[in-house]
Amino acid sequence: MSWTLEQIQFLQANRDMIEARRTFQFDFRSVTVRAIEGSVPWNDGTDNWIPALNVIGAEGITASGVMDAHPARYRLGKITASLGLAVLTDESEWRDRRLTQRLVLMMGGRAVGPAIFIHSGKIADIRRREDVGEDYLEVRVEGPFKDRNAAMLGRYTDRDQQMRSPGDRGCEYVALYEASGAEFVGWLQG
């Protein structure tokens, strides 16, 4: 959906009254959670959006957007029942699930025109961070080019293997083997 000429003219004429609010859609395995920036819920005519309350930040999203190889880190404050810990503690609920951020231009609680895409990626990690003054969720979201800056054989390190399969010791000695200078000879030659 694109902007109509009437919508653009309306935005120009009312630019002092237009507010911009970000939306965050979490596509978990069993449920889709939709949150909108601020403290007021919103219905877009199809879906209900819960207040995101304290969206503290969305760092790592640069001008390059989805072309960026670095993960975006979302910091979400105040854990609500809709974004409950039951969903967050089960890794199969969120691992590699999509998170999409959009910008909605509003006037009087109603959207003016289509939502503007900001960022989308797959959830790589969710951590609950607690300290004396804060209790928030940190969500790491990786885009489609997450491996762009990785070394060719980066997938064969013990660290990468532990991230894929914790406890697997298959790649534990790769670095030692490479440093020893040993070679596979004979058996590969035909």
- How high does pLDDT run on average in the chain? 76
pLDDT at residue 81 is higher than 80 = no
Average pLDDT over residues 74-87: 63
Q: How far apart are CA 150 and CA 70, in angstroms?
A: 11
59 — phi, psi (to 5°)? Answer: -90, 155
| 169 lies in the same domain as 134 | no
Do 130 and 164 belong together in one domain? Answer: no
Does the pLDDT value for residue 76 go beyond 80? no
Quick one: tokens of 24?
């965050």
CB 91 within 8 A of CB 65: no
Residues 128 and 162 in one domain: no
Q: Where are the alpha helices (DSSP H) in the chain?
A: 5-13, 85-89, 91-94, 158-164, 174-180
> Tens digit of pLDDT for each residue in 133-154?
777 778 888 877 665 555 555 5
Average pLDDT over residues 97-105: 90
pLDDT band at 111 (very low <50, low <70, confident <90, very high): confident
pLDDT of res. 98: 92
Q: By residue range, what is the domain housing residue 77? A: 5-146
* Statement to judge: residues 85 and 154 lie in one domain: no
For the ranges 92-106, 109-123, 135-149, 176-190, the lowest mean pLDDT is seen at: 176-190
| Region 85-108 average pLDDT | 84
What is the tens place of the pLDDT at every residue in 7-50?
Answer: 888 888 888 888 888 888 989 888 888 888 888 889 988 999 98
d(CA 51, CA 137): 15
Do residue 82 and residue 48 come from a single domain?
Answer: yes
Averaged pLDDT for residues 167-171 = 78
pLDDT of 96 above 80: yes
Half-sphere exposure of residue 88: CA atoms within 13 angstroms, side-chain side: 19
Give the pLDDT score at 47.
92
- Structural domain tally of the chain? 2
Sign of the alpha-carbon torsion through 43, 49, 54, 57: negative
Query: Do 38 and 10 lie in a common domain?
Result: yes
Query: CA triplet 14, 15, 20: central angle to 5 degrees?
Result: 115
Give the whole-number percent of the chain exceeding pLDDT 90.
4
| pTM above threshold 0.75 | no
Contact 24, 58 (CB under 8 A): no
Give yes or no: residues 83 and 165 share one domain.
no
Assess whether 69 and 102 both reside in one domain.
Answer: yes
What distance in Å separates the CA atoms of residue 50 and residue 25, rounded to the nearest whole number?
10
Residues 131 and 180 grouped into a single domain: no
| Exposure letters 99-118 (e unless 16+ CB within 10 A, then b) | bbbbebbbeeeeebbebeeb
Instruction: Say which residue the tokens 């120009």 belong to.
Output: 12
